[in-house]
Amino acid sequence: MNLPSGVNHELPTYDALGRDLLATSRRQRWAALARPYLGVVLFALAIWAGFWWLAPLIVFFIFVAVVTVTHDVVHNSLGLGPKLSDWFLFLLGAVLFESGHAYRTSHLQHHRVFPGPDDPEGDPARMSFIKAVVWGPIFLPRLWLWAFRRQKANRRQRRWLMLEAGWALMGPAAAMVAWPWTKALALYVVLVFIGSWVYPLLTVYLPHHHYGDTPLTQTSTLRGKVIPVLFLELTYHLEHHLYPSVPSHHLPELAKRMEPVLAAAGVQPRRVP
């Protein structure tokens, strides 16, 4: 397996690091795919039990679970195959009323060209903190429109995009219909849509801001005992950019094996709790 385009040839290959980093067991695969739906069940149980105050915490868990596993599906690191990947991009995105296929189109482009042009996912990295925050409500719609134009010649992908856009519109509509009987769906929809507004800040601006002109300086990586676990290893952003085929459950081990390489290159991971 080749290194990502543009990476210095002195970086270790997948073979040198260990191809066990590319392995995903059946248990790991289905545990990752099940987490978002477990979160939805927990949300319903919390509301049923009257623990409304838990709703934001559970929705946060759902966001992290969806983003992590969708990330792996986009990079084909769970071994699902083309058909299952398409279905799970839809089903996982549906949990948050988002488009998994738009994300795949924009995210793979982000890996190909960042920090170059025609990278709508990477645009917030070039913004100020305030603009990245304000960009939140239009970030996902812009990615969807870009992906729809990008897939002009691929009618099958456009059908998936249209299906996902329709599902996203159904969320608020269903919440309004259900309002006389339950406010729970409206709460979920509101929390999900507000949560999606932090994407440009948390997933692009913070890891990529002040990026350099080499692969080792285009993003950051975090080390800690609590935060990386809380975010299901999404904090190992540099390692992911260098070796995108490594699934999220192996990123901590990849980070350990990369420590001598990063130290020799003068890269200092940020330390967090």
Per-position b or e across 25-62, b if 16+ CB within 10 A of its CB = eeebbeebbebbeebeebbeebbeeeeeeebeebbebb
Cβ–Cβ < 8 Å for 86, 104: no
Residue 1 has pLDDT above 80, yes or no: no
Residue 112: name the closest of 69, 75, 66, 70 by CA: 75
24-67 residue pLDDT tens: 999 999 999 999 999 999 999 999 999 999 999 999 999 999 99
173-210 residue pLDDT tens: 999 999 999 999 999 999 999 999 999 999 999 999 88
Whether pTM > 0.85 for this model: the answer is yes
Cβ–Cβ < 8 Å for 236, 224: no
88-137 residue pLDDT tens: 999 999 999 999 999 999 999 999 998 888 999 999 999 999 999 999 99
Cα–chain center distance at 9: 27
Residue 7 has pLDDT above 80, yes or no: no
Q: How far is it, in rounded angstroms, from Cα 143 to Cα 186? A: 25
Percent of the chain with pLDDT over 70: 97
3 band by pLDDT with thresholds 50, 70 and 90? very low
Burial class (CB in 10 A: 0-12, 13-18, 19+), 160: buried
Which residues have C-beta within 8 Å of that of residue 220, sequence separation ≥ 6? 207, 208, 237, 238, 269, 270
